[in-house]
C-alpha cells in the first residue's frame, strides 16, 4: 500500500498561498481521480481542487480556515482500499438510522503475527458527506449491550472493551419539507415532530421558524452594550484572500497611476426604450437584458474609436491592445472581484448579453476562475445598481481607464426648448493621465454617451 501526498498547487499565475475553505472529504473516504476534494480561496477566486490520486483518504494535513503556501502538503491518500471495521450489530438498531462505527486502535506487536489487521474504512453512511456537529436538542441514542452470544468487540492486544457505537436518528420528513428546511437553514433533527408516524410536518417547521425568529428579535442588537468588556465591543476580521488582494491592488493603483476623472450627464431615454424592445424580442427570450448591456457595447464601440484608452503603461512603453477583455466590477459576498469577458469586441449584442449574465451568476456564486480575472483591458463598474448617481472609481491595475455607470432615473430635461421628464444617468470615468490626456478622455466619454443617447449608432 502506497501513501501519496497531495501538495497545494499553483492554480493561478503567480499564486503564492491559499486558504483551505472547506474539505469535501474526510479521513476514510474513498476518492477517485479528478473527484473534488477541497475548496480553496486564493487571492483571486474560490477554486475547487480535484484529487490526482484514487484511493482512501488517510489524513487531512491542513485544517479548514488555515492559509498555507503553495507546495505545502494538504492531504494524504493511500492507493488501495481499506477494509471496514467489523463490529457487532446494534441490538436496538432501527432501519433508516445511521450507525457510526467506533475507531479501533492498531494491533500491538504482542498480539502475534496472526492477529487480524484492523483498518479504518469508509463510513457506512457516505464517504463524501461532512460530519455534522451535534447541537443541543439533537436526538442521539446509545446502543444497548450486545446479546450474550455476541461478545463485545475487543481491541487486538488489549483487554479493554471497545466503546459502543453511537446511533444518530435521521429525522423523518417529506421531500417538500426537507427542501424548505434546507432553504431556511434549519436542521430537521432540531425540530419537534408531531406527525402521525413521527415525521416533521410543514406546520412543525413553520412553528420552529417562528420561534427562532422571535429569539433572534429579542437577541442583543449589533451595537454592543456599554457594560460589555472592552475586547467584546470590537469585531476583528482577518484580512486575507480576495479582500487582501483587492486592498493591495487598489493602493498600488491609487498611488502609482495619476488618476483624472470626468463626468457627463446622459439622456438615456432611447436606451431604456431599446432595452424594453429587446426584452420583448423572441431572439432575447430567456436572456436577462439591462441598460448595462448597452453601456458595455458602447464602451467597446468607443474604445475602437479611441484605442489608447484600451492600453497598459509599463514605464518603458505603452501597450495598446487591439482586443477588448471587458472587465465588470462585481460585488460578491467574498469582496470585490473584476472578472472579464474575453475578446468582447467579437461578440454580437445577444452573445454579449449571455456573457454578462454568465459572468454575474458565476461571480455571485463565488465560482469565478482565476483565468477569468486575468488580462483585463478596460473595466465597467455599475454603481447605479445600488442607487448611486456617480463616483470616482479607481482604475483596475494594469489598465488605464474605468467607467462608472450611475443610476438611471427620471429628471426634468430641456429638449427642443421644453422641460420634460427624461431618463437621465451620469457617467463617471477615471483615467491614467500618463496615457490618457484630457482631450482623449473627453472624446471617449462623449462617444460612450452618444450610444446611450442613440443606440441606433451601433448599426453604423
**Which domains are present in the chain?**
3-78 (2.40.50.100), 242-459 (3.30.559.10)
First-to-last C-alpha distance (Å) of the chain: 69
Beta bridge partners of 68: 18
Is-contact 8 74, C-beta < 8 A?
yes
Is-contact 4 28, C-beta < 8 A?
no
Sheet containing strand 98-100, strands side by side: 98-100, 166-168, 140-142
Position 458 confidence tier, pLDDT thresholds 50, 70, 90: confident
Task: Measure the CA–CA gap between 31 and 82, rounded to whole angstroms.
Answer: 12
- Mean of the per-residue pLDDT values of the chain: 78
Task: Measure the CA–CA gap between 47 and 21, rounded to whole angstroms.
Answer: 10
Q: What pLDDT is recorded for position 442?
A: 95
DSSP 411-451: EEEEETTEEEEEEEEEEEEEEETTT--HHHHHHHHHHHHHH
Residue 406 in this model has a pLDDT that exceeds 50 = yes
Beta bridge partners of 379: 327, 402
Best CA proximity match to 41, nearest among 339, 240, 330, 247: 240
Is-contact 187 181, C-beta < 8 A?
yes
Task: Measure the CA–CA gap between 220 and 231, rounded to whole angstroms.
Answer: 17
* Residues contacting residue 230 through CB under 8 Å, at least 6 positions apart: none
Q: pLDDT above 70 covers what percent of the chain?
A: 72
* Residues contacting residue 240 through CB under 8 Å, at least 6 positions apart: 19, 41, 67
Residue 324 in this model has a pLDDT that exceeds 50 = yes
* Residues contacting residue 69 through CB under 8 Å, at least 6 positions apart: 8, 16, 17
CA–centroid distance for 89 within its chain: 42
Q: What pLDDT is recorded for position 27?
A: 92
Position 368 confidence tier, pLDDT thresholds 50, 70, 90: confident
The verdict on whether 322 is a catalytic residue reads no
Q: Is 179 helix (H, G, I), strand (E, B) or coil?
A: helix
Q: What pLDDT is recorded for position 404?
A: 95
Residue 389 in this model has a pLDDT that exceeds 80 = yes
* Residues contacting residue 458 through CB under 8 Å, at least 6 positions apart: 297, 298, 301, 349, 451
Best CA proximity match to 31, nearest among 1, 48, 5, 56: 56
Q: What pLDDT is recorded for position 145?
A: 40
Is-contact 406 390, C-beta < 8 A?
yes
The DSSP 8-state label assigned to residue 111 in this structure reads G
Q: What pLDDT is recorded for position 219?
A: 52
CA–centroid distance for 453 within its chain: 36
Task: Measure the CA–CA gap between 195 and 173, rounded to whole angstroms.
Answer: 9
Alpha helix (H) ranges present in 240-348? 241-256, 269-280, 291-305
Is-contact 411 359, C-beta < 8 A?
no
Task: Measure the CA–CA gap between 308 and 341, rounded to whole angstroms.
Answer: 19
- Beta strand 259-267 with 46-50 is unpaired
pLDDT tens column, 433-446? 999 999 999 999 99
Rg, Å, the chain Cα set: 30
Does the reported pTM lie above 0.85? no
Which range is least confidently modeled, 128-132, 186-190, 329-333?
Answer: 128-132
Is-contact 338 388, C-beta < 8 A?
no
pLDDT tens column, 120-139? 333 333 334 344 444 444 44
For residue 353, what is its C-alpha cell? 448579453
Is-contact 429 400, C-beta < 8 A?
no
Q: What pLDDT is recorded for position 380?
A: 96
**Between 211 and 66, the higher pLDDT residue:** 66
Position 151 confidence tier, pLDDT thresholds 50, 70, 90: very low
DSSP 345-394: GG--HHHHHHHHHHHHHHHHTT---GGGGSS--EEEE-GGGGT-----PP
**Between 109 and 182, the higher pLDDT residue:** 182
Is-contact 297 456, C-beta < 8 A?
no
Sheet containing strand 46-50, strands side by side: 46-50, 36-41, 17-23, 67-69
- Beta strand 378-381 with 401-405 is parallel
Position 157 confidence tier, pLDDT thresholds 50, 70, 90: very low
Question: With 0-12 CB in 10 A as exposed, 13-18 as middle and 19+ as buried, what is 149?
Answer: exposed
Alpha helix (H) ranges present in 157-240? 175-184, 202-217
Which range is least confidently modeled, 167-171, 247-251, 304-308?
Answer: 167-171
Task: Measure the CA–CA gap between 318 and 310, rounded to whole angstroms.
Answer: 10
Amino acid at each position: 500500500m502506497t501513501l501519496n501526498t497531495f501538495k497545494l498547487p499553483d492554480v493561478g499565475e503567480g499564486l503564492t498561498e491559499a486558504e483551505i475553505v472547506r474539505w469535501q472529504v474526510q479521513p476514510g473516504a474513498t476518492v477517485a481521480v479528478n473527484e473534488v476534494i477541497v475548496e480553496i480561496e486564493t487571492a483571486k477566486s474560490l477554486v475547487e481542487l480535484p484529487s490526482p490520486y484514487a484511493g482512501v483518504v488517510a489524513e487531512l494535513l491542513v485544517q479548514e480556515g488555515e492559509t498555507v503556501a503553495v507546495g505545502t502538503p494538504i492531504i494524504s491518500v493511500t492507493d488501495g482500499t481499506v477494509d471496514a471495521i467489523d463490529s457487532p450489530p446494534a441490538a436496538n438498531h432501527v432501519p433508516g438510522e445511521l450507525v457510526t462505527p467506533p475507531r479501533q486502535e492498531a494491533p500491538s506487536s504482542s498480539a502475534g503475527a496472526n492477529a487480524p489487521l484492523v483498518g479504518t474504512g469508509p463510513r457506512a453512511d457516505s464517504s463524501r458527506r461532512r460530519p455534522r456537529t451535534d447541537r443541543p436538542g439533537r436526538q442521539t441514542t446509545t446502543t444497548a449491550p450486545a446479546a450474550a452470544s455476541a461478545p463485545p468487540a475487543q481491541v487486538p492486544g488489549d483487554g479493554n472493551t471497545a466503546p459502543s457505537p453511537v446511533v444518530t436518528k435521521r429525522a423523518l420528513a417529506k421531500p417538500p419539507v426537507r427542501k424548505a428546511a434546507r432553504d431556511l437553514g434549519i436542521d430537521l433533527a432540531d425540530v419537534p415532530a408531531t406527525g402521525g408516524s413521527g415525521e416533521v410536518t410543514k406546520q412543525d417547521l413553520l412553528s420552529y421558524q417562528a420561534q427562532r425568529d422571535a429569539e433572534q428579535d429579542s437577541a442583543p442588537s449589533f451595537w454592543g452594550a456599554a457594560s460589555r468588556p472592552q475586547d467584546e465591543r470590537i469585531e476583528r476580521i482577518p484580512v486575507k484572500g480576495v479582500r487582501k488582494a483587492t486592498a493591495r491592488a487598489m493602493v498600488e493603483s491609487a498611488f502609482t497611476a495619476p488618476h483624472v476623472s470626468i463626468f457627463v450627464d446622459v439622456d438615456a431615454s432611447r436606451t431604456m426604450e431599446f432595452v424594453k424592445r429587446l426584452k420583448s424580442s423572441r431572439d432575447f427570450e430567456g436572456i436577462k437584458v439591462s441598460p448595462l448591456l448597452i453601456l458595455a457595447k458602447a464602451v467597446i464601440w468607443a474604445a475602437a474609436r479611441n484605442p489608447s484608452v484600451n492600453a497598459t503603461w509599463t514605464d518603458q512603453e505603452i501597450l495598446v491592445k487591439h482586443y477588448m477583455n471587458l472587465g465588470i466590477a462585481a460585488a460578491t459576498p467574498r469582496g470585490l472581484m473584476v472578472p472579464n469577458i474575453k475578446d468582447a469586441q467579437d461578440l454580437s449584442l445577444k452573445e454579449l448579453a449571455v456573457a454578462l449574465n454568465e459572468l454575474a451568476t458565476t461571480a455571485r456564486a463565488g465560482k469565478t476562475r482565476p483565468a477569468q480575472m486575468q488580462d483585463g483591458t478596460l473595466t465597467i463598474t455599475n454603481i447605479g445598481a445600488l442607487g448611486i448617481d456617480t463616483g470616482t472609481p479607481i482604475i483596475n491595475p494594469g489598465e488605464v481607464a474605468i467607467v462608472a455607470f450611475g443610476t438611471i432615473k427620471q429628471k426634468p430635461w430641456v429638449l427642443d426648448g421644453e422641460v420634460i421628464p427624461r431618463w437621465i444617468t451620469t457617467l463617471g470615468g477615471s483615467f491614467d493621465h500618463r496615457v490618457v490626456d484630457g482631450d482623449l478622455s473627453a472624446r471617449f466619454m462623449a462617444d460612450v454617451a452618444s450610444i446611450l443617447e442613440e443606440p441606433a449608432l451601433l448599426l453604423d
